């Protein structure tokens, strides 16, 4: 078993933050952990890595108890950037990891190239932007080619290009046999990363495969937007106008072909059709609609 969390419970003051979490991962995959702020995502990861005490339950990573620090030879945990030391350079951080992991120094250049941080490798962390710190954190957790990678909000502070790079690295890691458990608020990115999504709601885990919720959102570019609006309103098709230039609708509301037929019949030319999978966000809205923190 790669990851085994059995009946994990944690109380904070009088409230149960985690109410008996069970996770079993047998094959390398990417699992997304999703929930509103304060739902316990970070707490769960901190308990799994034995950073926090918990009241009940057991955690095994790669068949070993999480109290054994040797597991961190093959388990990495990307945490928030407060773990970095401002007065040291990125190189110092990576060298430290190499030293304690028994890795050759050549891994530093290698991983810096992989995450695109060669240009500021020798600079002090106190001068880093949020995105640069995220790059360093990523480099620190993948330098040892871990078998299990826990990531807490890895996309925080990343610009779109870096977010895409991060996503590609995670997909590569999955291909290389790494199990990734990632928490994120970026539901679009989660949609692109995995189908396996665990929602954390009121201290309990709802494990779901997005396949059953996945839906496509279509974006049609037409030659006459006003005319298209009139046609679809008349045909009682639920739609929205996106960015003042596209007609958008979900496939669960109406089939693409029906919309095309309505528009074509009235002489509206369709210039382009784009679509996006929106399973995570859709399911998230269903589960957490009305929650103050959503």
Partner 1 sequence: MKLLVFEFKKMFFSKKFLVLLAFLVALVVLLFFRNVILEDYVLDEKQSNYSYLVEVSEMNNRTYTRQLEQDLEEGTEEYEEIEMRQEMNLDLLNTADELHNLVGTDEWQQQLNVEISFMEQVRDYRMAEGEYPITEEEIHHTLALNQQLLAQGIPKEIENYSHAPPNFLLQVVNLWVTLGALVVVLLLIGDLMTSEFESRSINLLFTQPFNRAHIIVSKFVSSLVIYLIVLVAVLLTALGVSYLFGTEGNFQYPVIIEVDGVLRALTSVDYVVQAVGLMSLMVVFMISLYLLYSLLFKQTIMTLFALLGTLLLGYILTATFSMDALAWFNPFKYVLPEQAILTQENERWYDAIPVTLIVSVVLLFIASTKIKTSKVD
Q: Which residues bind partner 1 (CB under 8 A)?
A: 46, 49-53, 69-73, 75-77, 79-80, 82-85, 87-88, 92, 96-97, 99-101, 140
How many H-runs (helices) and E-runs (strands) does the chain carry?
9, 14
What is the closest distance, in whole angstroms, from the C-beta atom of residue 147 to partner 1 in the complex?
A: 13
Nearer to partner 1, 75 or 163 (CB): 75
* Cα distance between the two ends of the chain: 34
32 phi and psi angles, rounded to 5 deg: -100, 135
Nearer to partner 1, 76 or 186 (CB): 76
Long-range contacts of 119-123 (CB under 8 A, 24+ apart): 120/90, 121/89, 121/90, 121/91, 121/94, 122/89, 122/90, 122/91, 123/89, 123/90
For residues 263 and 230, what is the distance between their CA atoms, to the nearest angstrom?
10
Cβ-contact 152, 1 below 8 angstroms: no
For residues 224 and 120, what is the distance between their CA atoms, to the nearest angstrom?
50
Distances (CA, A) of 42 to 35, 184, 195: 10, 10, 21
What is the closest distance, in whole angstroms, from the C-beta atom of residue 81 to partner 1 in the complex?
A: 10
What is the closest distance, in whole angstroms, from the C-beta atom of residue 72 to partner 1 in the complex?
A: 4
What is the closest distance, in whole angstroms, from the C-beta atom of residue 193 to partner 1 in the complex?
A: 23
What is the closest distance, in whole angstroms, from the C-beta atom of residue 126 to partner 1 in the complex?
A: 9
Nearer to partner 1, 39 or 79 (CB): 79
For residues 172 and 119, what is the distance between their CA atoms, to the nearest angstrom?
23
Nearer to partner 1, 85 or 273 (CB): 85
Mutual angle of helices 130-142 and 160-175, in 10-degree steps = 10
What is the closest distance, in whole angstroms, from the C-beta atom of residue 127 to partner 1 in the complex?
A: 13
Nearer to partner 1, 125 or 278 (CB): 125
Nearer to partner 1, 136 or 197 (CB): 136
């Amino acid at each position: 078993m790669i990851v085994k969390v059995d009946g994990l419970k944690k109380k904070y003051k009088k409230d149960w933050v985690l109410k008996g979490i069970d996770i079993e991962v047998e094959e390398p995959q990417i699992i997304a952990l999703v929930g509103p702020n304060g739902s316990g995502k970070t707490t769960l990861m901190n308990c799994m890595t034995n950073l926090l005490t918990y009241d009940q339950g057991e955690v095994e990573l790669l068949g070993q108890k999480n109290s054994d620090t040797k597991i961190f030879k093959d388990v990495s945990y990307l945490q928030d950037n407060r773990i970095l030391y401002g007065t040291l350079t990125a190189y110092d951080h990576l060298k430290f990891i190499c030293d304690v992991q028994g890795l050759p120094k050549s891994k530093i250049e290698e991983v810096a190239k992989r995450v695109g941080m060669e240009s500021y490798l020798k600079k002090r962390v106190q001068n880093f932007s949020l995105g640069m710190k995220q790059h360093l954190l990523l480099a620190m957790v993948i330098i040892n080619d871990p078998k299990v990678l826990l990531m807490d909000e890895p996309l925080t502070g990343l610009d779109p290009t870096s977010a895409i790079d991060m996503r590609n690295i995670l997909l590569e890691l999955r291909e290389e046999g790494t199990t990734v458990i990632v928490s994120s608020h970026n539901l679009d990115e989660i949609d692109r990363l995995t189908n396996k999504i665990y929602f954390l709601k009121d201290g309990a885990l709802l494990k779901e495969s997005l396949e059953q919720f996945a839906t496509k959102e279509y974006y049609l570019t037409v030659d006459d937007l006003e005319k298209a609006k009139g046609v679809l309103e008349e045909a009682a098709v639920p739609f929205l106008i996106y960015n003042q230039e596209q007609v958008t609708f979900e496939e669960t509301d109406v089939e693409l072909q029906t919309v095309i037929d309505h528009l074509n019949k009235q002489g509206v030319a369709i210039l382009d059709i784009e679509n996006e999978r929106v399973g995570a966000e859709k399911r998230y809205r269903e589960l957490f609609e009305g929650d103050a923190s959503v």
